[in-house]
């Protein structure tokens, strides 16, 4: 089999595997659901994730050892991952090929000439590693694997699935997803400018592989330094811009193997020796190049604290910053999260959202809970997000630990935050209208939301009696109340008898009221008062777990009358209720 055919088969296999892992990352035991598929295996192959989390946390999560294995293999054979495996690289190669179908060999060869701008990705790598060294892991913003998973999980699949209905029976929505989609489309569109533009100029993972490929004993190169003519077919089909016809830029070779396949004289091969026509590499490690890389790394290191601008200003983090159950404390969470979107895709309630402003600049596109979006709050029996997190930024919880049962009974359930009733917006508190939705949907037992029962006079509810006959009262003027007077929430009390028990209003209208029982002392000329029975909700912070069911179901549109904030969360001391 020709090496190019093998490379295309490999690319096709890993691209389909990537899309499959994205598709099945949903809770369930069906064939098109999670059911044990190793959906994080491709993410585990990423050595930049392994290196970044090692620098940020000084530990290595065991599944990321795969990535170090990939890096070790790159030290021997060069950037095989870029040419044979990377799904984003495959998409870039496909779109670049389509965009250049009409160009001739000379034009394509000119486009593929190496340039100094290809060293930019090494500066980006140094910047990201500098950030990680001080705990600000930002590699996921441009690392091709998290970027690809984030884009497909949050932007592409939600657009496609409602029309197909394969996975979700309801549309999925993600906050600020247009920016994620635009970045992905821009990366693909740039291939019309130059083939694999992102891979050549931006990709920090490619830069890491490029550094490793400098010392690889096996590499592509010319077998002889003799001139091979001026056909430049190898350069016209080169994906990395590494100049295979002359002095090879060894760090930029993506192992696409097109030059081996296209060379009519067979003078280009893959062997355990340097190219006979000479070699060079990026980045330039001369004094100027080294200073530039050190400056980029220092900029990343010094910028990491500045990204926490809210903390630097003494403002603290937003109380709306609620992380998924099992999340590490904020500092360690940000040192591990790679913004891949796996937890957001897996969440059956669609409440895990990419942060746009809630977590600040340092937390861009990290997962936060938004109880207004999605289908409900955080389900008590769901632990999917922790099971699919590839770096353990969200710990894989057991159900007993989340619910505070069994061995975890002493510690209690995992608390995401605490619900607070806004008495200026709550219907029973502020508007005298019956509502107990939040108390009804609270899943905690005994419930974290309890009610205070009160009887309050309704507006215009003081009336004179024209007569009384058993349980029926005749009024001097009609009663006007908002809502159905016979709903069971309205009561009548005789004025001047403060100890009298109110009697429920069960029917009637206009100038006649029907009560559930006779009103003692009722007589013509006496005054009665119509009351509304209200159950005003209150929250027991000792029982509330911050699941958000109450906030999601609250009937008050706009700003909800009951809202969850991160106070009293389990994961960190600063989020506790009292200072």
| Per-residue pLDDT reduced to its tens digit, 8-28 | 999 999 999 999 999 888 877
How much is the pLDDT for 336? Answer: 96
DSSP 508-549: EETTEEEESS--TT--TT-EEEEEEEEEEEEE-TTT-----H
Answer yes or no: are the C-beta atoms of 378 and 547 closer than 8 Å.
yes
Indicate the length of the chain as a whole number. Answer: 579
The pLDDT of residue 316 is 64
Question: Could you tell me which residues are beta bridge partners of residue 535?
Answer: 453
In DSSP terms, which residues pair with 562 in a beta bridge?
421
- What is residue 260's predicted lDDT score, i.e. its pLDDT? 85
Q: Given this model, what pLDDT does residue 165 score?
A: 55
Greatest pairwise CA separation for the chain in angstroms: 121
Q: Considering only CA atoms, which of 28, 131, 63 is closest in space to residue 392?
A: 63
Q: What single-letter DSSP state applies at residue 146?
A: H
Assess whether the previous peptide bond of 107 is cis (omega < 30° from 0): no
Tokens standing for residue 54: 């090692």
- Domains assigned to the chain: 3-166+180-280 (no CATH), 330-411 (3.30.70), 455-533 (2.40.30)
pLDDT of residue 273: 85
In the chain, which residues have pLDDT < 70? Answer: 1, 161-169, 226-227, 229, 307-316, 482-483, 498, 573-579
Q: Please, what is the end-to-end C-alpha distance for the chain in angstroms?
A: 69
**Rounded-to-integer distance, Cα 334 and Cα 217, Å:** 37
pLDDT value of position 483: 62
Rounded Cα–Cα distance for residues 545 and 551 (Å): 13
pLDDT of residue 109: 83
**Strand, coil or helix: 339:** coil
């Amino acid at each position: 089999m020709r090496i190019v055919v093998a490379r295309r088969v490999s690319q096709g296999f890993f691209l389909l595997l990537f899309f499959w892992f994205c598709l099945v990352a949903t809770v369930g035991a069906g064939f098109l659901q999670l059911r044990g598929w190793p959906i994080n295996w491709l993410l585990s192959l990423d050595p930049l994730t392994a290196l970044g989390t090692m620098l940020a946390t000084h530990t290595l999560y065991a599944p990321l050892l795969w990535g170090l294995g990939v890096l070790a293999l790159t030290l021997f054979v060069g950037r095989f991952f870029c040419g044979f495996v990377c799904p984003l690289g495959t998409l870039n190669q496909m779109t670049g090929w389509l965009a250049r179908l009409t160009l001739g060999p000379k034009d394509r060869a000119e486009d593929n000439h190496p340039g100094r701008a290809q060293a930019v990705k090494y500066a980006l790598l140094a910047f990201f590693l500098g950030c990680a060294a001080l705990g600000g892991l930002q590699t996921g913003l441009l690392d091709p694997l998290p970027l690809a998973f984030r884009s497909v999980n949050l932007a592409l699949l939600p657009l496609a699935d409602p029309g197909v209905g394969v996975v979700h029976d309801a549309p999925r929505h993600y906050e600020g997803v247009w920016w994620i989609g635009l970045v992905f489309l821009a990366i693909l569109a740039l291939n019309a400018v130059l083939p694999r533009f992102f891979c050549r100029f931006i990709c920090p993972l490619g830069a890491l592989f490029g550094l490793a490929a400098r010392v690889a004993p096996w590499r592509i190169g010319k077998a002889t330094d003799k001139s091979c003519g001026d056909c430049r077919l190898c350069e016209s089909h080169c994906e990395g811009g590494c100049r295979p016809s002359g002095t090879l830029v060894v760090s930029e070779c993506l192992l696409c193997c097109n030059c081996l396949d296209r060379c009519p004289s067979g003078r280009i091969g893959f062997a355990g020796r340097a190219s006979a026509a000479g070699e060079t590499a990026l980045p330039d490690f001369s004094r100027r190049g080294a200073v530039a890389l050190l400056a980029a790394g220092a900029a990343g290191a010094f910028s990491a604290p500045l990204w926490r601008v809210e903390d630097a200003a003494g403002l603290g983090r937003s109380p709306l910053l609620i992380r998924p159950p099992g999340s590490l404390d904020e500092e360690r969470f940000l040192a591990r999260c790679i913004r891949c979107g796996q937890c957001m895709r897996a969440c059956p309630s669609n409440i895990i959202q990419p942060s746009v402003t809630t977590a600040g600049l340092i937390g861009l596109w990290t997962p936060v809970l938004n109880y207004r979006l999605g289908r409900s709050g955080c389900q008590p029996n769901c632990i999917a997000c922790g099971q699919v997190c590839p770096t353990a930024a969200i710990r894989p919880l057991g159900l007993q630990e989340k619910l505070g049962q069994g061995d975890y009974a002493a510690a209690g359930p995992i608390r995401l935050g605490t619900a607070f009733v806004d008495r200026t917006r709550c219907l029973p508190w502020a508007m005298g209208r019956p509502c107990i939705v939040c108390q009804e949907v609270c899943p905690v037992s005994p419930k974290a939301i309890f009610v205070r029962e009160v009887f309050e006079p309704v507006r215009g509810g003081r009336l004179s009696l024209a007569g009384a006959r058993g349980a029926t009262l005749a009024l001097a003027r009609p009663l006007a109340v908002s809502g159905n007077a016979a709903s069971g929430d309205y009561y009548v009390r005789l004025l001047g008898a403060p100890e009298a028990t109110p009697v429920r209003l069960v029917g009637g209208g206009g100038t006649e009221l029907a009560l559930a029982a006779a009103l003692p002392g009722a007589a013509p000329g006496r005054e009665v008062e119509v009351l509304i029975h209200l159950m005003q909700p209150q929250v027991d912070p000792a029982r509330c777990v911050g699941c958000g069911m109450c906030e999601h179901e609250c009937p008050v549109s706009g700003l909800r009358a009951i809202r969850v904030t991160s106070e009293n969360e389990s994961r960190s001391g600063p989020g506790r209720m009292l200072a």
